[in-house]
């Protein structure tokens, strides 16, 4: 069976924790996806041909619609595949608020622990790339500080792990009850990263038996089903299809965006990343979707979250 315009193409690599979050999300919904393995380090020409410059991992493609950032990906999956829901309680808005912490401060902390604990053992090109991305211009100094302050950083992680262990102590299977939720994937990816990439991670987690039990249950959900897919074929798929996103900007846009405005979009952090330029197709409180046209891919619609991203008009 050949790929269709509704199929999920997932650009990722196995070691990426943020990709692991989405792979678990695929598992929760029992989805099938096409797996494109991208390089761990730039340049990533076959990825940025689709995104227009966004280089982070993961990116989801459905036909000529390109979804950047796990926040955007999870929201789109919930829209297209509502059952079983990622939000099994009536607290969806609250869970999105909480995810800003799991994906922000908590993930950043885990990155500092993993990079900081590796000290001089990180390959130089990897240290430079991830250092600049996560720790800013003075990343070498940032890595040294993270190494020197490791016990402090671990204390910052231990407190929330303790809270989670307490939440799980009533015997519930998942964070919100019997059914797995987006929040399970959003918390799990940090635990998976710390356990797999920090040498003291497994010993530290062993202090929290309910958490370890829960992580085993999340792991058992699996990743849905997948087939490997070729990066060039993904570009051809985009070229041969049209974006399906509707056009329009919701009322009260704080930046006064209008369909057709030329904008750039990039993560609102000092990571040295290339902004993506395009023309507004859709915007609301949660998402901005921009069209861009290039010889290789034709017209694609690239989607970003509003939260955590800077949109610059002109």
Residue 76 beta carbon to ligand GSH: minimum distance, rounded to whole angstroms: 13
Q: How many angstroms separate the CA atoms of 103 and 43, rounded?
A: 24
Kindly state the number of chain residues that form the binding site for ligand GSH, as judged by CB under 6 A.
Answer: 11
Q: How many CB atoms lie within 10 A of CB 14?
A: 10
For residue 133, give every residue at least 6 positions away whose Cβ sits within 8 Å of its Cβ, in sequence order, or none: 271, 272, 273
Q: How many angstroms separate the CA atoms of 175 and 167, rounded?
A: 7
Of 165 and 193, which CB lies nearer to ligand GSH in the complex structure? 193
Of 43 and 314, which CB lies nearer to ligand GSH in the complex structure? 43
Q: What are 3's two structure tokens?
A: 């790929």
Among 51, 61, 70, 99, binds ligand GSH (CB under 6 A): 70
For residue 71, give every residue at least 6 positions away whose Cβ sits within 8 Å of its Cβ, in sequence order, or none: 99, 103, 305, 307, 308
Among 55, 112, 223, 292, binds ligand GSH (CB under 6 A): 55
Of 224 and 305, which CB lies nearer to ligand GSH in the complex structure? 305
Q: Is 310 in the site for ligand GSH (CB under 6 A)?
A: no
Q: Is 18 in the site for ligand GSH (CB under 6 A)?
A: yes
Q: Is 16 in the site for ligand GSH (CB under 6 A)?
A: yes
Among 46, 53, 56, 296, binds ligand GSH (CB under 6 A): 56
Q: Is 69 in the site for ligand GSH (CB under 6 A)?
A: yes
Residue ranges in 81-120 that form contacts with ligand GSH under rule CB under 6 A: 103
Among 9, 10, 17, 278, binds ligand GSH (CB under 6 A): 17
Of all residues in this chain, which one has the CB nearest to ligand GSH in the complex? 56
Of 56 and 144, which CB lies nearer to ligand GSH in the complex structure? 56
Pick the closest to residue 250 from 280, 279, 285 (CA basis). Answer: 285
Of 57 and 241, which CB lies nearer to ligand GSH in the complex structure? 57
Residue 55 beta carbon to ligand GSH: minimum distance, rounded to whole angstroms: 5
Distance, CA of 45 to chain centre: 19
Q: Which long-range contacts (CB under 8 A, 24 or more apart) does 147-150 make?
A: 147/116, 147/117, 147/119, 149/116, 150/113, 150/116, 150/117
Q: How many CB atoms lie within 10 A of CB 36?
A: 24
Contact 302, 244 (CB under 8 A): no
Of 44 and 249, which CB lies nearer to ligand GSH in the complex structure? 44
Residue 78 beta carbon to ligand GSH: minimum distance, rounded to whole angstroms: 15
Q: Considering only the stretches 10-18, 29-37, 160-168, 221-229, report the one whose residues sit in contact with ligand GSH under the rule CB under 6 A.
A: 10-18
Contact 179, 84 (CB under 8 A): yes
Contact 253, 69 (CB under 8 A): no
Site residues (vs ligand GSH, CB under 6 A) = 16-18, 55-57, 69-71, 103, 133
């Amino acid at each position: 069976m050949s790929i269709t315009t509704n199929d999920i193409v997932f650009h990722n690599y196995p070691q990426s924790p943020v990709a692991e979050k989405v792979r678990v999300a695929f598992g929760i919904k029992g989805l099938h996806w096409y797996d494109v393995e991208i390089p761990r380090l730039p340049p990533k020409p076959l990825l940025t041909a689709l995104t227009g410059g966004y280089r982070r991992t993961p990116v989801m493609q459905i036909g000529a619609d390109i979804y950047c950032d796990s926040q955007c990906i999870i929201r789109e999956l919930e829209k297209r595949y509502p059952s079983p829901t990622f939000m099994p309680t009536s607290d969806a808005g609250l869970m999105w608020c909480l995810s800003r912490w799991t994906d922000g401060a908590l993930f950043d902390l885990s990155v500092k622990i993993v990079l900081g604990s590796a000290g001089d053992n990180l390959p130089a090109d990897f240290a430079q790339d991830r250092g600049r991305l996560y720790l800013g211009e003075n990343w070498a100094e940032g890595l040294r500080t993270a190494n020197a302050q490791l016990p402090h950083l671990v204390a910052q992680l231990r407190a929330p792990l303790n809270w989670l262990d307490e939440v799980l102590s009533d015997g519930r299977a998942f964070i919100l009850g019997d059914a797995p939720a987006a929040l399970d994937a959003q918390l799990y990816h940090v635990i998976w990263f710390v356990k797999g990439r920090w040498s003291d991670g497994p010993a530290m987690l062993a202090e929290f038996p309910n958490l370890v039990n829960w992580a085993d249950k999340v792991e058992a959900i699996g990743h849905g089903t997948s087939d490997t897919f070729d990066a060039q074929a993904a570009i051809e798929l985009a070229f041969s299809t049209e974006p399906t996103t509707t056009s329009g900007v919701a009322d009260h846009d704080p930046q006064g965006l209008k369909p057709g405005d030329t904008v750039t979009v990039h993560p609102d952090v000092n990571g040295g990343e290339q902004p993506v330029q395009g023309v507004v197709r859709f915007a609301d409180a949660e998402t901005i979707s921009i069209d861009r046209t290039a010889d290789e891919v034709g017209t694609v619609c690239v989607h970003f979250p509003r939260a955590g991203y800077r949109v610059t008009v002109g």
